[in-house]
Structure 1
Amino acid sequence: MDLVDTLVELIDLRSFSNLWFWIALAVMWSSASHWVLGVPIDMVYRAKRHGGQAEQDLEDVVRGNVNRLIYIMQVSGAWLLALVCFVLSGLLVLGFFYHVEFAQAAFLLAFPLSLVGVLTRATAGRIVRDGISGTELQQVLVRCRLYIQMIGTVSIFVTAMWGMYQNLQLGFLG
């Protein structure tokens, strides 16, 4: 096996039979559930345990991240929504109508993340609108993390089932 064969094998676009795809899926959901509104979850638990300065630090970081997110949505939210819808619909058509496996895999990664984005935006809006702070802020962040983990669990299950279906179909037809 020469260098070209090794590179082609490493950068194989048959995503569901590629180890790198599954590693990327695991890392993506691990990161998504660890960083809630841009705040590491351990910071939330530290504020819950110790209070005082840890709680103040949490509120400061959340306020900065929430204000940044709200500002981005006010300035370019419509354009971002249009771009995300365009990309997702393109991946959907390419993947499931034209049977491009790479587009299927990208859609199965991107669509659930877009749901996490909607959840994050809604949570940020609620924090600003209701002026949430202190213990209630910690509860909101933990609940948001739980919802992200639920989306991730369903996403991993659906992706695994679709990936197994694709690999079995390829095995029987190939």
Structure 2
Amino acid sequence: MDLGGRIFELIDMRSFSNLWYWIVLAAMWSSLSHFVLGVPYDMVGRARKHAGQEMDDLNALVHIKARRMLMVYDRAGTWIVAGLSFTLSMLLFLGFWFGLEFAQAVFLLMAPAMIVTFLRMQFAGRIIDNTIQGTALCDAITRNRFYTQLIGMISVFVTSLWGMYQNLSLGVFG
């Protein structure tokens, strides 16, 4: 078999051997790490460095986003949690009980992202309840970003191990 055929065989439409899956995984974690509560992390660095108007902008934007997130949760939180729980349960069951690789792949994307979302909801509540502002807000955002990156590293590691296992056990490289 020629090299082109081998590469095409290697990158087929299955999830864990598809290059696009890994690009989506990397892009998702990059986006989740860069945007904390929808606020770009570079604003934190500018607010720490320049203070003044930059810090006021950061305080305003984070509080707006936190209030909005909590408002959405207050209005539809029960339905959102029920829907996501059903979806994750279905993906878990289809993926790991019936062996559907696509469901495994989507579950390994969604489950850690839902953990990050839960942490961000708690974070938004703390911001509003304690009216965190200024340098304390920058520190809190940095801490939340660190936990997001930690969850992301663990998620990518577990996903890559599972993907390698799937690819080797199904004979993709054989």
The alignment's TM-score, normalised by the length of structure 2, stands at 0.92
For residues 89 and 170 of structure 1, what CA distance do their matches in structure 2 show?
A: 25
Paired position in structure 2 for 1:69: 69
Aligned residue identity for 2:77: G
Tell me: CA distance 1:135–1:99, structure 2 relative to 1, closer, same or farther (3 Å): same
Question: What does 1:36-55 correspond to in 2, within 5 Å?
Answer: 36-55=36-55
Question: For residues 19-76 of structure 1, what are the alpha-carbon distances to aligned partners after superposition, in whole Å with 9 as ceiling and x for unaligned?
Answer: 0000000000000000001100000110011100000000111011001001001101
Paired position in structure 2 for 1:162: 162
Tell me: CA distance 1:170–1:52, structure 2 relative to 1, closer, same or farther (3 Å): same
Q: Secondary structure at the match of 2:170?
A: helix
Paired position in structure 1 for 2:148: 148
Question: For residues 113-147 of structure 1, what are the alpha-carbon distances to aligned partners after superposition, in whole Å with 9 as ceiling and x for unaligned?
Answer: 00010010000001111110010000000000000
Paired position in structure 2 for 1:4: none
Unaligned runs of 5+ in 2: 1-9
Question: For residues 98-118 of structure 1, what are the alpha-carbon distances to aligned partners after superposition, in whole Å with 9 as ceiling and x for unaligned?
Answer: 000000000000000000100
Tell me: CA distance 1:89–1:76, structure 2 relative to 1, closer, same or farther (3 Å): same
Which structure shows the bigger proportion of residues in helix conformation? 1
Paired position in structure 1 for 2:134: 134
Question: What does 1:14-29 correspond to in 2, within 5 Å?
Answer: 14-29=14-29
Q: Offset of 1:172 from its aligned partner? A: 7.7
Q: Secondary structure at the match of 1:157?
A: helix
Q: Secondary structure at the match of 1:17?
A: coil
Tell me: CA distance 1:172–1:139, structure 2 relative to 1, closer, same or farther (3 Å): closer
For residues 93 and 64 of structure 2, what CA distance do their matches in structure 1 show?
A: 38
For residues 172 and 107 of structure 1, what CA distance do their matches in structure 2 show?
A: 22
Aligned length: 165
Paired position in structure 1 for 2:104: 104
Aligned residue identity for 2:18: N
Q: Secondary structure at the match of 1:136?
A: helix
For residues 28 and 124 of structure 1, what CA distance do their matches in structure 2 show?
A: 21
For residues 22 and 172 of structure 1, what CA distance do their matches in structure 2 show?
A: 16
CA RMSD of aligned residues (A): 1.7
The alignment's TM-score, normalised by the length of structure 1, stands at 0.92
4+ residue segments displaced more than 4 Å: none
User: Is the Cα contact below 8 Å between 2:92 and 2:103 reproduced in 1?
Assistant: yes
